[in-house]
Amino acid sequence: MRLQTLKQLAVVPLASALLVACGSDNDNNSSKPKPPVAEPKSVELQISITNLTAGQPQSPSGVIVHRSGYLAFDEGKAASVAIEQMAEGGDAKPLLAEANANSQVLKTYEGPAAVGPGANRTFTMKVDGVDNTAELYLTSLTMLVNTNDAFTGVNNVALGNLAVGESKRWNGPVWDAGTELNSEASGTIPGPADTSSAADKGFNAERNDLNNKVVFHPGVITQAEGLSSSVLTVAHRFDQPAVAIRVTRVK
């Protein structure tokens, strides 16, 4: 009995030593440095929009950075009401609201003011949730305000995998929204060429253009071509392209 009791007593300090050792290991683990928290992914794009026309102010641009799966308009098909509002009245807000409701759209921007002939606007857009531009697309649209429903820009162009400091440039054609007849008449043009105070200048929900589809714009008809009812002059003519857009990845 005495021998057995001595053996039991000998086990007690051994178990205590093991517990102390275990406690020491836990202390060591808690003192190890924690791994760094990863910074949120993002890329930063500098976008430069230049009006290439000689006499056509361009409305505040609606700029959209998105993935494949978003399309502002489809050439040869009827324009959405949002495109109609932008192309007839120069208002990009409905277009951007429509874009922001699309899950493939990552970032939108509306220019603060019109861009005059030959002028430029440059701004920066930070796009969160991505660390490269490989699957990003750009749509940037603006109205030629001395027209009935002409608009220009780029539609669903791929940025490609831009390295930091690398740029891409596109020249934007002019489209006719196909929603308003190109009469160039007084009371139908929202730009400064039309000095009338008509209430229906700009967007009108009624579509009086029989085409009712987006096509390349044939150009305006001015007084110089013998259209006496036109409020446009030779200065308001435009060539293709009407806008240059440059994107540079800066971060």
Dihedral sign for Cα atoms in the order 105, 107, 112, 113: negative
User: What pLDDT score was predicted for residue 210?
Assistant: 87
User: What pLDDT score was predicted for residue 30?
Assistant: 59
Q: Are strands 120-128 and 137-143 parallel, antiparallel or unpaired?
A: unpaired
DSSP 8-state symbol, 58: B
User: What is the DSSP annotation of 65-77?
Assistant: EE-TT--S--TTS
**C-alpha span between 186 and 158 (Å, rounded):** 40
In contact, 74 and 163? CB cutoff 8 Å: no
In contact, 192 and 58? CB cutoff 8 Å: no
Residue 29 lies in a domain: no
**C-alpha span between 179 and 160 (Å, rounded):** 33
Query: Apex CA 22: angle with CA 21 and CA 28, to 5°?
Result: 90
Q: At what angle do helices 81-89 and 93-100 cross, to 10 degrees?
A: 150
Other CB atoms within 10 A of residue 166 CB = 14
Question: What is the H or E stretch that residue 234 is in?
Answer: none
User: What pLDDT score was predicted for residue 10?
Assistant: 45
User: What pLDDT score was predicted for residue 34?
Assistant: 74
Tell me: cis bond preceding 241? Omega within 30 of 0 counts: yes
Residue 193 has which token pair?
């060429």
Q: Residue 202 belongs to what domain range?
A: 42-249
Which pTM was predicted?
A: 0.84
Can you list the residues of the chain whose pLDDT is less than 50? 1-3, 5-25
Question: Edge to edge, what strands does the sheet with 120-128 contain?
Answer: 120-128, 42-51, 243-249, 167-172
Residue 186 lies in a domain: yes
Collapsing DSSP to helix, strand or coil, 194 comes out as coil
242 phi and psi angles, rounded to 5 deg: -110, -10
Residue 7 lies in a domain: no
Residue 1 lies in a domain: no
**C-alpha span between 56 and 52 (Å, rounded):** 9
Rounded to a whole number of angstroms, the CA Rg of the chain reads: 31
Q: In this structure, what CATH number is given to the domain that contains residue 97?
A: 2.60.40.2130
User: What pLDDT score was predicted for residue 16?
Assistant: 46
Q: How many domains does one find in the chain?
A: 1
Mean pLDDT, the chain, as a whole number? 89
Question: What is the H or E stretch that residue 31 is in?
Answer: none
Other CB atoms within 10 A of residue 180 CB = 23
Quick one: what percent of the chain has pLDDT higher than 70? 86
Residue 199 lies in a domain: yes
**Residue 90 burial (CB < 10 Å; 0-12/13-18/19+)?**
buried
